[in-house]
Amino acid sequence: MFIESNELELKRGYTKSYLKTVCAFANERNGKIIFGIADGGDIIGIEDDTQIRHQIENAIYDGLKPTPEFKLDVNEIDGKKVVTLTVFRGSAIPYLYQGKAYMRVDTSTFVADAFRMRKWFEENSNINFEESLVDGTDGFGFDSLKKAFEEITGMTNFTDGALITLGLMRNGKYTQAGRFFSDDNSFSFGIDVVKFGRDSSEFIKRKRLTNQSLLKQFNEVMDFFDNYYHDYEVIENGERKSRIKLPRNAFREALANAVVHRNYQINANIQIEFWDDRVKITSPGGLTSDISEKQYLSGGISVPRNAVIANIFFRLKIIETFGTGIGRIKKEYLSFGQVPKFKVTPNTIEVILPVINYDQKNRLDNREEIITQLLKKGPASRSQIQKALELSPSTVKNLLSNLISQNKIERFGKGTATKYRLL
């Protein structure tokens, strides 16, 4: 089944409208256009693949300036021929079609706006924005940064040499990253945090953190979080039990990701909304062109937009291994049977962390007990467990993953022979 995405476009037959998408792929990311498949994914086929390949080649050479790198392949699907055009992201950005640069948003192609053009320039320059130099920086101080490095790493001799090593100073001037970590600075876009009441018209507390070190902003937001989502105790069946409202490590990871990966050229704040049932974090700036939405959501890869900021957060143990943030957030929720949500748009990344529903967790615990009892009778496949519990495949997968992480069961075998057993 073929489904259009920001990396794939389907064409029933040959029309020159595909050249806008060629332009967008050349500007942003590798992509494919398949001729002979309808929008809905039905295989139509191409009668004369030689003719259409010549049409595609000639149109690209004549219509796009400069000419991007591409290749053409003819494949057979269900007995019908289709022509696949693969376009590679180039280094001579921006590529133009009829004098205009194009960008890809979901499954549509549009004329690139000023923000996207600036983003391309930034990504293809030898120096990123955070590494560019700042004029007029008299009075910059780094007490917060020095204190943090002393406490975490034991570094006591925090000189200009340390600032140069960290990428905060170069050629006798501070970099933009240096400005962001200075105690008092001119960057007026930081973090907006608000605790809502029953609806968006009821503000319990609101705080705007700007013109101060990223470390101080980070720590103040964590204090804000601890004030509203601290641990608590309940009496259950005559027994005192400790509970959490929301996994603190999941919020800490999501906040760190927002600070590290946001686009500091966008004049907007990171928005953090605290609700009784959820926390929502919205970071300015979508994904870089080096990473797809699928790769981002899988949690297995990370290409930080701001490598200097990421390196400092890593040294201070605010973030751990690069590329594990999404996976760590998901793992924090695994034992509670709830799932954080992630949404990516061209200009924002949004993370929603649910407050723990213990009624749902209790149901999860009961299901885990049922699985344990089932496996006492002998090993079983996931489909057998799914049938016994009458649950969806994704729910059973989460339950089994949680039991494995608790070292209660293990998985063995490969492919269709995979089974689970008690440890």
pLDDT in tens, 273-289: 999 999 999 999 887 76
Strand-strand pairing, 80-87 and 191-196:
unpaired
**pLDDT for position 282:** 96
Residue 76's pLDDT band (cuts 50, 70, 90): very high
**pLDDT for position 237:** 74
Structural domain boundaries in the chain: 8-116, 130-181, 191-354, 358-422
Mean per-residue pLDDT, 185-199? 90
Q: Are 87 and 23 in contact (CB under 8 A)?
A: no
Domain 358-422 in the same topology as domain 8-116:
no
- Can you tell me the distance from the alpha carbon of 339 to that of 353, in angstroms, rounded to the nearest whole number? 8
> Is CATH 1.10.10.10 correct for 358-422?
yes
**pLDDT for position 125:** 62
Q: Which of 147-151, 184-188, 256-260 has the lowest mean pLDDT?
A: 184-188
**pLDDT for position 159:** 86
Identity at 351, one-letter amino acid code = V
Residue 390's pLDDT band (cuts 50, 70, 90): confident
Q: Are 418 and 411 in contact (CB under 8 A)?
A: yes
Identity at 43, one-letter amino acid code = I
Mean per-residue pLDDT, 316-326? 74
Mean per-residue pLDDT, 312-317? 92
Mean per-residue pLDDT, 31-53? 92
Mean per-residue pLDDT, 168-191? 89
- pLDDT at 337 exceeding the cut of 90: no
Any idea how long the chain is? 423
**pLDDT for position 357:** 82
**pLDDT for position 187:** 83
Q: pLDDT tens digit string along 201-220?
A: 899 999 999 999 999 999 99
Concatenated DSSP letters for 277-289?
SEEEEEEES---T
- pLDDT at 238 exceeding the cut of 70: yes
Q: How far is CA 3 from CA 87, 149, 293, in A?
A: 18, 49, 15
- Can you tell me the distance from the alpha carbon of 155 to that of 36, in angstroms, rounded to the nearest whole number? 63
What's the whole-model pTM score?
A: 0.62
Q: pLDDT tens digit string along 152-163?
A: 988 888 888 999
Residue 364's pLDDT band (cuts 50, 70, 90): low
Q: Which one has a higher pLDDT value, 283 or 319?
A: 283
Q: Are 353 and 278 in contact (CB under 8 A)?
A: yes
Q: Could you count the other beta carbons within 10 Å of the beta carbon of residue 415?
A: 5
Alpha helices in 64-190 (DSSP H): 114-124, 143-153, 160-165, 176-181
**pLDDT for position 407:** 81
Task: Please work out, in degrees rounded to the nearest 5, the angle formed at the alpha carbon of residue 156 by the alpha carbons of 154 and 162.
Answer: 100
> Is CATH 3.30.565.60 correct for 191-354?
yes
Identity at 386, one-letter amino acid code = Q
Angle between helices 358-375 and 393-405 (to 10 degrees): 80
Q: Which fold has domain 8-116?
A: 3.30.950
Q: How far is CA 25 from CA 56, 67, 148, 215, 416, in A?
A: 15, 12, 43, 37, 38
Residue 11's pLDDT band (cuts 50, 70, 90): very high
- pLDDT at 325 exceeding the cut of 90: no
Q: Which of 11-20, 89-98, 124-133, 273-282 has the lowest mean pLDDT?
A: 124-133
Q: How far is CA 346 from the centre of its chain?
A: 12
**pLDDT for position 302:** 59
Share the mean pLDDT of the chain: 86
Q: Which of 7-11, 121-125, 194-198, 367-371 has the lowest mean pLDDT?
A: 121-125
Q: Are 222 and 281 in contact (CB under 8 A)?
A: no
- pLDDT at 126 exceeding the cut of 60: no
Residue 338: half-sphere exposure toward Cβ, Cα within 13 Å: 23
Q: Could you count the other beta carbons within 10 Å of the beta carbon of residue 65?
A: 15
Backbone CA torsion sign across 404, 407, 408, 412: positive
- pLDDT at 322 exceeding the cut of 70: no
**pLDDT for position 361:** 58
169: nearest Cα among 188, 142, 208 = 142
**pLDDT for position 414:** 84
- pLDDT at 87 exceeding the cut of 90: yes
